[in-house]
Amino acid sequence: MQRLSSVPLGYQPGTGWEYSLAADVLGAVIEKVTGASLGAFVTERIARALRIESFVFNAPEAMRSRFVQVTRPAQVTVALGTGYVPVVGPEAVPFPQTKGTADFDPNRAFSLTITPAAPA
């Protein structure tokens, strides 16, 4: 979060749009304010309230067939239209906005043990 907060705006608010890491920042704020993990907060306050039964941040291996294959841009630029290629293993992809990297890993969603939410 510290590195992300030091990155200047790409353009003035209202003059452009692009996907961002805003959800990551919001997740960190929610964790700080509630003292709970983002997964626990979403399960309790959103998924249960909407009666969503299959929400997880970390999925069991049995769910793998329900996931879309992880891809990355064929050429790592900010420009669109370079096409996409599959990611078959952990890969650090340059992330120009932060001058860092984004870690793409098709196994990440399956790497942690999950605790199913108790019925509401």
Asked if residue 118 belongs to a domain, the reply is: no
Please give the pLDDT value at position 29: 93
- For all residues of the chain together, what is the average pLDDT? 81
Asked if residue 65 belongs to a domain, the reply is: yes
Phi-psi sector, 21: left (phi>0), alpha (psi -120 to 50), beta = alpha
pTM for this predicted structure: 0.50
pLDDT confidence of 116, banded at 50, 70, 90? Answer: very low
Q: Which of 57, 80, 96 is the last residue of a domain?
A: 57
Asked if residue 117 belongs to a domain, the reply is: no
Asked if residue 22 belongs to a domain, the reply is: yes
Question: 48 and 66 share a domain?
Answer: no
pLDDT (tens digit per residue) in 76-89: 665 666 788 899 99
Please give the pLDDT value at position 50: 94
Please give the pLDDT value at position 110: 81
- H or E segment to which residue 101 belongs: strand 100-104
